[in-house]
Chain A
Amino acid sequence: MGFNVGNLRNKIGNLGPIFLLYFLSITEIDTQFSDLFEILSFNLQIIIIYYWVLRNPSVIGNGNIFFAGIINDVITGLPLGTSSLCYLVVSLVASYIKNVTVNVTLFTDWFTFLIAIFFSNLTYIILILNFSEYEYNYIELLYNSFFTFLFFPAFWVVFNFYKKIVYIKYDD
């Protein structure tokens, strides 16, 4: 029943990805860099969800994914539930991949991430095209998906490093 420093660090460390997910959804901070390069934009929320559901599902719960999506919809002006559903689809693919794979490598995660992006975008397009009045630019979506896929390994390394700091050091 004594005070466990390792446990405390673990709990605070667990809050990091959730905080980042909510932070990206609710603040004006975005991952669009059209000032640097006209077509450069990516979806960091999807990367966070996919990585953490795949590597440690207890860190980001389904409820947090759902609420982050709702907040994102409100801020960006999309019909409520659109982003939630897309994020949950990413989570579903990640959970499925987690159930059927044993080996963990950057390459397998990266490859399977493509499936998650595909189904997430498919859900998005179906919802927007059929049930809303918004017009849509497929090229923008393609660029966004491409850069999201391209940057995944970089964030995979960063998150892996973060996980090592938070989850391994306290055993020392």
Chain B
Amino acid sequence: MSTNRDDFGIAIRSALLQRGAGQKFSLFVFICLSILIFFLDSFPSRAMDISRSVINDSIYRVSMMSSSPFKFINLLKNKTVIHFNVRKENIELKNELEILRNKDFNLEFLASENKRLKEKLVSSTEKKYNYVTAKVIIDKNSPFLKSVILNRGTKSGSKKGMPVLDGNYLVGRIVETNYLSSRVLLLNDLNSRIPVTFGDIPVQAIMTGDGRDKPRLEYLPENFEPLEKETVFTSGKDGIFSPGIPVGKTLFEKESIKVKLFSDPNQLSYLNIILTDLSKKEIF
């Protein structure tokens, strides 16, 4: 029995301490180094923040360059698919245009009515967004974390917590900033929680990412029976996101209420970082 234990000890010691041909350091040294780096990174300090920012920016640039040939191939593939779909799409668009023309008259009336009502109501939603456009430089799929890297950092005014839009639609918020880059936590990430509202009688809920493409709605009122295809907006209850940013449409899936996002999290290229003044707001 003790011989077995000795053998195990010898084999482990050998695996940890032996240095193979051409290796300067043993496995043990690198394990210690990894643990040290992990703890330095886990307990924030100014020196580590600067180091991490420099490392991140450098690696993101190298990653962007090394990924560019594959991005180009993907782009070519997408362009080809679009080219072949254009005829079919044209017919569909013509039909859609006809429907929209019919709706236009009704819309004109509603727009003027809305304008009149807005003039009477001093609303915070009237504030124009101050934003900066950023390019997605890295979009690596991970089964665990759903995020993208943008080419704008603190140099361009990006700060942690700022909302990020794809056109007019919310896609996530900034969770990491470096001097030249930022990381956006997407709405479908497991760690994402956004207060939202939807329906004619506005219902408040929390939209929670679950790692899949469609986040789910939680903390709905008791005995609540929602309708499908209702537009979900940010409620602004967190004090970070402005109220009324469109997010997606409700749908039922696997006995839960989910949100089909307006913006596909896998197809992001250029995003707008909303430069909100976070100093006056509580980070959610």
Contact = CB atoms under 8 A, between A and B. Distances in A.
Interface residues of B, number: 57
11 contacts: A30-B142, A34-B141, A58-B20, A58-B23, A62-B25, A76-B140, A80-B41, A81-B39, A135-B191, A137-B144, A144-B143
A77 B42 CA distance: 13
Interface of B: 7, 11-12, 14-16, 18, 20-27, 29-31, 33-42, 52, 55-56, 59-60, 62-63, 66-67, 70-71, 138-145, 147, 149, 175-176, 183, 190-191, 210-212
A134 B145 contact: yes
A83 B16 CA distance: 18
A78 B27 contact: no
Contact of B15 (A75, A99, A136): A99
Contact of B27 (A26, A62, A82, A133): A62
A115 to B, nearest CB: 13
Given A28-B140, A38-B212, A77-B147, 7 more contacts: A27-B66, A32-B143, A74-B56, A79-B38, A80-B41, A85-B31, A134-B190
A28 B31 contact: no
Q: By CB atoms of chain B within 10 A, which of A58, A99, A144 has the most? A: A99
A2 to B, nearest CB: 22
Interface of A: 23, 26-30, 32, 34, 38, 41, 57-58, 61-63, 65-66, 69-71, 74-82, 84-85, 88-89, 91-92, 95-96, 98-100, 127, 131-137, 140-141, 143-144
Name the prevailing secondary structure of the B interface residues: helix
A56 to B, nearest CB: 9
Contact of A91 (B27, B70, B138): B27
B178 to A, nearest CB: 10
A26 B66 contact: yes
